[in-house]
Amino acid sequence: MADILVAGAGPAGSLAALLLARQGARVVLADPGRPVAPRCESLAPAARALMAGLGLEPVLAAARLGQPAAMALSWRAVPEHRRFGAEAPWLLSRPLLHAGLRAAALAAGAVALETRITRLETGRARTADGGMLEPAVILDARGRAAGGLRPLAPARAALPFAGSAPEGAASMGIAALEDGWIWWAEARGQRQGIRVAAPATLSGMDGTARQDWLQAAHAPGLPDLSACSAGRPVPAGLAAAPETQPAPGVIRLGDAALARDPVAAQGLLHALRSASQAAAAAATLLWHPGEAGAAEAFLRLRHQADCEAAIAATAAAQAGQARHATPFWRGTAPAPEAPAAPPRDAALRLAARPARVPLLAEGHIRWTRGLELDATGQPLARVGPYPAAALLAALAAPGTAPELAARLARLGPATAAGPVIAELLRIGALVPGAVTPA
């Protein structure tokens, strides 16, 4: 009998299966094994760091198509050519990434089950052929196919395209169009990308109409798409499940929890991060059932923060668009305004109180002593190198930002103090004003 069933062997499901199998859990990884659409996706640098930390660089290296040095942007009033520097994203083959992560999960001991999971509930999952599995914990990583996602932003559909390109260095670009936007990448003699619009724009189009619509895209810097073929449209809007633990012992992860709009190019990063968090929550339920409440609180708070971050990232990516003022662009949400930095000589006080908060450490989740923000209830177990208790002690008395940074610098690495003060200001843990004595 399996301890854990993972439904869906995309990046999220395979990584969660791998992490749990590495810890010794008996894991079944169920997926119907349909061919993965041959798409090129860009991988954020933070996702590379996460994979490297797990010893999975070889999986990424095998899926890597190239690393563009710059990006062509036809987004603001004037076309740009933005150089990336060391933080350049990688272009990955989606089928190779899926295959590599799945193979790594099986090599770690997960058992493959080639089937579709049709129903999930506490302790039970039904397969397409009528079979029943009864694992202790179920991870739902079926991507958008899990269903039950609610839109967090206007709906979007993406039309993938692919064709040949001249051999040369890897490159990529993005352009705003009247009815949406288009992203393209070139590597290893292939040009691939997506054209994104409101679903109504694509509805009713047959293959020929979609091909014509793709070819009709025009923007400064956009390469010739005449050798590219349009695929089938896929949903691409920002949408999320109301909660990541829909029933006791059932945990959603990856796109099944939060499917991001590709305009922010963070979907893979979220899939991989949420996989390690869901694996830790599953390990907690399995081996530390007394801490189930901490795991549940951790997942709920993480999901809330991830949804807020995804809304902000989507809005920010669209906010700079200045080429078109059409209905598509009028429908996009404005980017939230960053709070103004307080003057350097303003007194700041800590707007957080001691609280019990969930902490992910050593592969599982437990309660620990931390801080809870007064304004939002957001828990803080630590910020940068400083545990919450150290922050509380060092920042209990109000002071200016440089004074508070100097106090933190005495506790740990001096270079971390300034960025930690900036982060505490950003999340509202430090607010202007002296404390009124009780």
Interacting residue ranges for ligand FAD, rule: CB under 6 A: 7-13, 30-32, 34, 41-42, 116-117, 141-143, 145, 158, 194, 234, 236, 254-256, 260, 262, 265-269, 271
Q: 22: which residues sit within 8 A by CB, 6+ positions away?
A: 108, 109
CB of 437 to ligand FAD, least distance (A): 50
CA 181, CA 64: separation in Å to the nearest integer? 25
Q: Which is nearer to ligand FAD, 14 or 74 (CB)?
A: 14
Looking at the chain, the number of H-run helices and the number of E-run strands are: 12, 29
**Minimum Å distance from CB 20 to ligand FAD?**
15
Alpha-carbon gap, residue 250 to 237, rounded angstroms: 25
Partners of 186 in beta bridges:
171, 191
- Closest approach of ligand FAD to the CB of residue 359, in Å: 25
Please state, in angstroms and rounded to a whole number, the distance separating the CA atoms of residues 392 and 404: 11
Is the Cβ of residue 70 or residue 389 nearer to ligand FAD in the bound state? 70
Give the shortest CB-139-to-ligand FAD separation in angstroms.
Answer: 11
Of how many residues is the chain composed? 438
Among candidate residues 423, 287, 294, the one with its CA nearest the CA of residue 356: 294
Sheet strands side by side (includes 124-127): 117-121, 124-127, 132-133
- CA nearest neighbour of 17 among 105, 124, 137: 105
Give 123 or 412: the residue with its C-beta nearer to ligand FAD. Answer: 123
Q: How far is the CB of 61 from ligand FAD (least distance, A)?
A: 17
DSSP H or E stretch at residue 360: strand 352-361
Residue 324 · residue 77 · CB < 8 Å: no
Residue number with CB closer to ligand FAD (48 or 407): 48
Q: What is the CA radius of gyration of the chain?
A: 23
Structural contact between residues 123 and 185, judged by C-beta atoms closer than 8 angstroms: no
Closest approach, Cβ 171 to ligand FAD, in A, equals 15
Q: Which is nearer to ligand FAD, 234 or 406 (CB)?
A: 234
Minimum distance, C-beta of residue 331 to ligand FAD, in the bound complex (Å): 19
Smallest separation, CB 181 to ligand FAD (Å):
12
Q: Which residues of 393-415 are buried (b: 16+ CB within 10 A; e: fewer)?
A: ebbeebbbbebbbbbbbebbeee
Nearer of residues 259 and 381 to ligand FAD, judged by Cβ: 259
State the minimum distance, in angstroms, from the CB of residue 146 to ligand FAD. Answer: 7
Return the number of the residue (8 or 370) whose C-beta is nearest ligand FAD: 8
Residue 123: C-alpha distances to residues 5, 244, 272 (Å): 10, 16, 24
Q: Phi, psi (5° rounding) for residue 428?
A: 85, 15
Cα 310 from Cα 264, distance rounded (Å): 8
In terms of Cα–Cα distance, which of 195, 154, 181 is closest to 324? Answer: 181
- Residue closer to ligand FAD by CB (options 28, 165) is 28
Q: How far is the CB of 392 from ligand FAD (least distance, A)?
A: 37
Judged by CB, which is closer to ligand FAD: 328, or 386?
A: 328
Residue with smaller CB distance to ligand FAD, 142 or 191: 142
Q: What does the alpha-carbon distance between residue 246 and residue 249 come to, in Å, rounded to a whole number?
A: 9
